[in-house]
Amino acid sequence: MFLASKKMAPGRVIALGFAAVILTGAMLLLLPVAQNPGVEVSVVDALFTSTSAVCVTGLIAVDTADTFSVFGRAVVALLIQIGGLGVTSIGVGFIILSGKKINMRGRTLVKEGLNYGTFRGVLALVKSVVLVTLTFETLGMLLSLIVFARDYPFWQALGISAFHSVAAFNNAGFDILGGLRNLIPYQSNVLLNLTTCGLIIFGGLGFFVIREIVHKRSFRKFSLHTKIVLMMTVVLLVGGTLVLRATENITWLGAFLTSTSARTAGFSTFAIGSFSTAGLLALMLLMFIGASPGSTGGGIKTTTFFVLVKSLYASSTNKHCSAFHRQIPRDVVTKAFTILVLAFSVVFSSTFLLSVFEPHTDFVKLLFETVSAFGTVGLSTGITPDLEPMSKIVIVLTMFIGRIGPLTVASLWSCRPDPGVSFAEEAVTIG
């Protein structure tokens, strides 16, 4: 991949890498060995499932357990793992294992893929990404096994636990319990709920943040990025829990898991379709914000939302945009607003198309489905399996854009370098 991409922009390489994995996954899921006896999966549903897995979303057109065999479920789990770690990280990981050196082109791809701010320590970051992932997923599997072993034979429980741990840490809301139940049968199981929340939270923090927490161990020593991520994570988790507990007839444990899951994971212990409009709007806001940069989650990201809020406050009070005694650069603010506009454009366009293809479906449910797809969340009001084929294609494209990022997608058509020509300024009346 790296040799073939010497003259290609990093964004295009990443996009093509994800697309290649998605198409490969779809073809594998179409194999008879990947499907349960008597089940026939359509091309659109296979593509939908593969995209949802690689984009670590969790929206499903067909139930994973009822449709796919053990081989098919293993393919889905592998696609989730590749999507969570990132195609470039996987490629560099194999090169490192083979003992070969990584050139500057490879380092650039990893830097872009992980949304890392510098070339310094890129390879060390890749190694720590793999180590952190395996550590959390193993711990999550063992804790989940304690719960699932009570209801299933050991080896089946082990498979369910491994799949669940991979899906949870990579913020993909897939389950293999069958019957489109998600985690509803375990809504009162404290251990599984907290294990799932823990995997989702750490998976959504970002590998750079986890690495900094381990090495620096002091909030004062953390970078501005890490401080913002940690603060926003706490605020959104607590705020989301309180709002959902107030608007919905669910337990505190259910509100906490739903709030956590809305940060791009997609697991649910209560039927989302029964939520009030207020609860759905709260979830849409959480899904739209999403997780943090360099993590397994999607959305516009917590840091983007923080910069947007701080810059609006700074503009209205005629102050500098700053946080934790540090001034935020102007180009970062510009990038944040660019991402916001692009994200709104994607959500609006996708919702409009869904409204055209699904004229008899409630608009709020269509909007919720679109935001869930863009944020690579996976929460649904239950309309996904009944969508028309064209609607599923729209959701597929929305998930793909949400995973690689709207800014990356916008840059795919940016072929010409900046000529460096500047024009005379002239004011425009706005507002």
User: Mean pLDDT, 10 residues at a time, over the chain (431 residues)?
Assistant: 54 81 95 93 95 91 93 94 74 55 60 58 71 91 96 94 94 89 92 95 86 85 91 95 95 95 89 94 94 84 93 88 88 91 95 96 95 93 93 95 82 60 78 70
Task: Write out the DSSP string of 349-366.
Answer: HHHHHHHHH-TTS-HHHH
In a domain, residue 395? The reply is yes
* pLDDT value for 284: 96
Residues 6+ apart with CB under 8 A from 344: none
In a domain, residue 313? The reply is yes
Please count the helices (runs of H) and the strands (runs of E) in the chain. 18, 2
CA distance 30 to 47: 9
Structure token pair of residue 72:
């098919």
Asked if residues 224 and 326 have their Cβ atoms less than 8 Å apart, the reply is yes
Identify the domain containing residue 267 by its residue range. 3-409
Asked if residues 309 and 228 have their Cβ atoms less than 8 Å apart, the reply is no
In the three-class reduction of DSSP (H, G, I as helix; E, B as strand; rest coil), residue 326 is classed as strand
* pLDDT value for 102: 58
Structure token pair of residue 409:
């997608």
CA distance 258 to 273: 13
Asked if residues 255 and 241 have their Cβ atoms less than 8 Å apart, the reply is yes
Distance of CA 229 to the CA centre of its chain: 15
Please give the C-alpha separations between residue 178 and each of 77, 199, 279, in angstroms, as whole numbers: 15, 22, 26
**Smallest Cα–Cα separation from 123: which of 109, 137, 135?**
109
In a domain, residue 350? The reply is yes
In a domain, residue 118? The reply is yes
* pLDDT value for 414: 57
CA distance 300 to 407: 10
* pLDDT value for 16: 83
In a domain, residue 431? The reply is no
In a domain, residue 349? The reply is yes
Structure token pair of residue 237:
């988790």
CA distance 111 to 115: 6
In a domain, residue 380? The reply is yes
Asked if residues 279 and 289 have their Cβ atoms less than 8 Å apart, the reply is no
Structural domain total, the chain: 1
Q: How far apart are the first and last CA of the chain?
A: 48
In a domain, residue 379? The reply is yes
* pLDDT value for 264: 82
Please compute, for residue 159, the number of CA atoms within 13 A of its CA located in the half-sphere on the CB side: 15
CA distance 193 to 256: 9
CA distance 326 to 116: 19
DSSP designation for 69: -
